[in-house]
Amino acid sequence: MSIEEIQANALRLPEDQRARLAGDLLASLPALLVDDDDGIAEAKRRSEDLHENPDSGLTWEEVKSNLGR
């Protein structure tokens, strides 16, 4: 399977599954950034929380609505 086929299949997943996949893929990469402000640790914690409880997340539409857009 080519990267293009994998990407096309991944883009057909529901938002919550795409977010989980994106987090898992990012977590699989070597650390390239310095986490001076604990931002990366917080992002990883949130990704793990979402992975454990997918219903706790928000859709992109909900996020935009919460921001008043």
Q: What is the pLDDT of residue 66?
A: 87
Q: What is the 3-state secondary structure (H, E, C) of 4-67?
A: HHHHHHHHCCCHHHHHHHHHHHHHCCCCCCCCCCCHHHHHHHHHHHHHHCHHHCCCHHHHHHHC
pLDDT averaged per 10 residues in sequence order, the chain, 69 residues: 94 93 88 68 86 86 86
Q: What is the pLDDT of residue 5?
A: 95
For the whole model, what pTM was predicted? 0.46
Question: Domain residues of the chain, as ranges?
Answer: 3-66
Return d(Cα 65, Cα 40) in angstroms, integer: 25
Q: What is the pLDDT of residue 11?
A: 95
Q: What is the pLDDT of residue 7?
A: 94
Contact of 20 with 50, CB cutoff 8 Å: yes
